Amino acid sequence: MTGDTYPNVHRPSPERVAAIADDLGLELNDEELADYLAVLDGALDDVRRVMELPSPEFPIHRRTHTDRPPGHAPSGEDDPFNVWITRCTVEGDDDGPLAGRTVGLKDNIALAAYPMTCGSRVLRDYVPRIDATVVTRLLDAGATVTGKLNMEAFAWSGSSDISDYGTVPNPHDPARLAGGSSSGSGAAVALGECDVALGGDQGGSIRIPASWCGVVGLKPTTGLVPYTGIFPLDPTIDHVGPMARSVEDVALATEVLAGEDVQNGVRMDARQPRGVSAAPYADALDEGVEDLTIGVLEEGFDWPAGDPRIDETVRGVIDDLAARGTTVESVSVDFHREILTLLTPLEIQGGTRTMEEGGVGTHHTGWYWTDLVDAVESRTRSRTDELPPTAKGSLLVGTYLAETYGIEFYAKAKNLVLELERQLTAHLDRCDALVMPTIPMLPFERDDSLSRTERLGRIVENHRNTATFDHTHHPALTVPCGSVDGLPVGLQVVGSHFDEATLFTVGAAVERLTESPTLPVSPPAPDAADG
């Protein structure tokens, strides 16, 4: 058991209780006010007792690899693409499936003894006391963690120019963006700064930077990989997964990361189904695609905002798969086109509630990160004006919707997602996988002259083919499949729930058919990345 420090619990004045009652629309006379003050006193006694009880310890509180040399913020000269927020070296076991591989962590993943900023200076001095479960699994598997990677502030953007730690330019063209919100993760892998990077994905934030930077990225089935010790956006859509330069490395990392998070006999992450486990995903790489049926999701192509050359590149690879014996058929899910409309109630209202509840949320079982609650609540109260524009805008919209309309829009959107999930699952009952472009447009051009409204207006534009699967819980893998104007194009493979193996089979086949994007050979101009 551990002791925690909490603020004293004080009895409010009658005036404060009267004001709360007024806000709730309750009309209390003096006698009723006195009665409810007595009720409140009894409730506060219980709260005080809860706070006095020692908190239980779980293995997450005990580091398995204790050598933690000091970290540092790299200089612009050492980090020309601005992918790192903190550099460090935490060595894992001497052997294991990831021995010899280096791993970078998106900076919303807890690594004890090093800052976790979530890409925002609001949390600049927050240092977690725990390792996220995925970090422990990586270290136990022999990996070496080499730092915390730049990201869009609080993960509320799909570009890569809304981090308080500066823009991450695209490794293949520094005049363009790397994509977000796991911007540093995608760019670092493309640059060879680390062998594997972990990203988070609530609307496409693994697959977008992976696709635009020309690497492989997996958003696993919801709950396959535990999210314990990672800053959330909305527990119904939170995902963490690996990026690497090959399907093989992503498959190996997934084997290490996947599986139920049970500590001291307690299920830590309510996002996970009971008994979920890893599989030998790397074995799927050598499976043939001749006996597979792949559905081409037509609504993933021909977007008005898309680039037809990307569609042509992806369709060309699909034709190559068909020429090698894969059965290919066209499938349609009209509602896939509505996903951006759904994101306002789903992600803004959901994300706002999570932020209001200390970055942890309520109404879920499992472990609660009380240390994070304290950090978020204290810092967002004292540093509200330092919140990024994405957070300010989302909190304003989310709060207005909640106060004016309650959760009606959120609830309706969630029900619409159920129908979208049903339609996709019906196709996946007949097809082994669905395919489409990961992102239908080329990486955004970097434009520092954009107004706040223009910059905020494009933060979800590149979610068109990715966000659907965060909400329907299907696994999705992006694999480089060609290029347009020297910029990588990603092909997205979507599978049935917990059938990541088929995604790796198809992804490996695509990898064999296409050349990997040429890695950048020179850093950007000195002014291409913010310090």
Catalytic residues: 106, 181, 205
Retrieve residue 299's tokens: 């609504």
Distances (CA, A) of 387 to 38, 158, 379, 402: 39, 17, 10, 20
Q: Taking the CB of residue 366, how many other CB atoms lie within 10 A of it?
A: 16
Cα separation, 195 vs 98, whole angstroms: 10
User: Helix, strand, or coil here: 266?
Assistant: strand
In this structure, are residues 231 and 134 in contact, taking their beta carbons and an 8 Å threshold?
A: no
Q: Characterise 223 by phi-psi region: left (phi > 0), alpha (psi -120 to 50), beta (else).
A: left
In this structure, are residues 133 and 229 in contact, taking their beta carbons and an 8 Å threshold?
A: yes
* SS3 track for 146-183: EEEECCCHHHCCCCCCCCCCCCCEECCEEEEECCCCCH
Cα separation, 458 vs 450, whole angstroms: 11
Go through 254-293 and write b for each residue having 16 or more CB atoms within 10 A of its CB, e for each that does not: bbbbbbbbbbeeebbbebbeeebebbebbebbebebeebe
Cα separation, 195 vs 248, whole angstroms: 12
Closest C-alpha among 504, 476, 494 to residue 206: 476
Burial class (CB in 10 A: 0-12, 13-18, 19+), 397: middle
